[in-house]
Structure 1
Amino acid sequence: MSGKVGAYGANSKSDTSFRKTWDQKEYEEKAREKDKEAHEAAQLAEEYAKKGKKPPRKQEDLPKATELMQAREAPLELDKNLNKTIVIDASAGSGQKQPGFYCDVCRRTCKDSVRYLDHLNGRGHLRRLGQTTKVVKSTLNDVRQKIAELRAKSAAAAEKKQYDFEQRIKDIKAAEVANKEAEREAKRRKKEEEKQKAEEERNAGADQDMMAAMGFGSFGGGAKR
């Protein structure tokens, strides 16, 4: 009789070959390197402290910039979450949480919008985007083209506004016509109801006259002797 086959095709419950294995020596080497870097950083900080100076920051190996600073295409919307507190996971895997503006590129949280804006315009953030802090110099043709684009945009907005105004006038006139029609219909129905009521009253009076002519009197009065 064959043994029971598991989900991974194993014939024995003790077979755990499908699980991920860890190289203990590799992780021990990484731990030693990390301890060494921490020890060297502590020694350097102690040497600078003796001299009354702050230790230099560790220079991060950023990619070389390949293009000039580019203008942002979308607005930052810094006031989008005004009067709200949003808690974001902090960077570096610390497990802590803190409020502020979070940068996905640099994995950094800024406490307020001013620092966040300074960070976005800073050298480190731009270097991660592959940009330098130098701005493209606009030529005379670029300025003219930009002015033409703004004029076209303004003209389109004015035309749309004019179209909305005319459409609004049409809607108001249509609403007035509809109201007048509704008033006319209400008056017509009221006249018909009054006419029908008057006709019913005339018919009721004619029936009473006919009954009186035929000798049928009122049943409410007493008999005469």
Structure 2
Amino acid sequence: MASSNTPQGVDNTFRKKFDTEEYRERAREREKKEAERSKQSKGPPVQRAPLKHRDYHVDLESRLGKTQVVTPVAPLSQQAGYFCRVCDCVVKDSANYLDHINGKKHQRALGMSMRVERSSLEQVQERFEVLKKRKTPGTFSEQDLDERIRKQQEEEEEYKRQRREKKKEKKASFYICTRAPYVFFFF
């Protein structure tokens, strides 16, 4: 049997003992350094404007269906895809371009935060009033609807007439060129 003077159980003396006073002193030193750094820095931290509506149209259709010669030595703005002047990068398709211009990196480059300005009750009420006023004069009656349908039909007829004229011109130029010594096809 063991004597009562010898300790029984596991010896835990190998565990690290944390000196709380030492860590408090380190925290005080770190706070002093941060306070000195903030005194030395010039001006307040950068304040970014909240998100706002885009005031320009995003042009995704202008180069649709067009061919472009791509060379590896061309500058970024002339490479295939959509070029972002703000971030100086090229994005290969329209979906990724929209993701890019709505993304955090692009918005930061424009000087905006990703937070939206919170609207007050008065702003919301004013917006409702503006929308009500806009809706009132634009209400459509049956006469307005009939008038719009008639205008649409006239525009379609004009478009069809112009297409017929272009086909006639194409046929005429084809016949004129085939009578020449060399045959040219214009499409």
The TM-score, its normalising length taken from structure 1, stands at: 0.36
The TM-score, its normalising length taken from structure 2, stands at: 0.42
